[in-house]
Chain A
Amino acid sequence: MRGICLLLLALSCAHRPVESSAYAVVRAAPSSAGNVRISATRDPTGAEELGIVEAHGSATLEAVISAFRQRVAGMGGDYGRLDVVATKNAVVQESRSYECGSNQTHDETRFVTRANPDGTFSTGTETVSVTTYVSQTCWETRDVEVVTLSVVGRAFRTAREGR
């Protein structure tokens, strides 16, 4: 039970979604189906700037840049210029459940039958202590530092596409 809870917690941490958005600075263009080239250092020469694009998430660099790429393509661009690639830390609270059962002892009364020396039987009661494990689920909340990776840049359409 505890293992399953930890596994679920690990999976929930590993798959935080990447979010992205875009702001067009020119009239909307049809989506580009082609490859989107990425550069973090150079603007393309002779290209039309289409808009501002950002993507962020507590995810891998590959996943965040992939979301950025998709936004650039969605604006009709074929070149994404990364102006900012940065990480930011934030402390969030995470809850997890775990097994916290314990052994509990209680008295039980039993009926017992005994053989007497004269060959007869007599029935009586006796009290015995019985220990059993009582399962219980506990919850704990802890502070976890989460890194959010964000990229901000611009979408371009270079002269080589669709002209």
Chain B
Amino acid sequence: MFGKKSTAGVNTKEVKAILDEKKTKMKLSLKACAHCTLCAESCFLFMGRNKDPKYMPSYKFLNSVGVLYKKKGNVDLLDLGEMRDLVWERCVLCTRCYCPVGVDIPEMIALARRVCRSQGVYPQYERD
């Protein structure tokens, strides 16, 4: 809030350009989310990981795309690193998540992935 937000390692202009493309739809969706958590059971990862709230579709998009729009694209590599875990490791984009209000969740995750990729943040396929 006070002082400039660090945006180390990130080209915020690029990020803002990507966010602007879908601004209307994303902002509308973020606003319409009623935080009801009824989307949770539709995610098989949520069901398979002992119902860990961090796997809820709403949690995933609120903490990736939601954060991107809230910070207006002024994120740094650490933020994107956290987002990487959310959108690549906790989501397979199987597109079966369900929202009673009708928010298009897969598109939001796909947008977050696009932003990460544009800044060189990729999923880590090789791990010990």
A, B from the same assembly: no
Interface residues of chain A, those whose CB is within 8 Å of chain B, are none
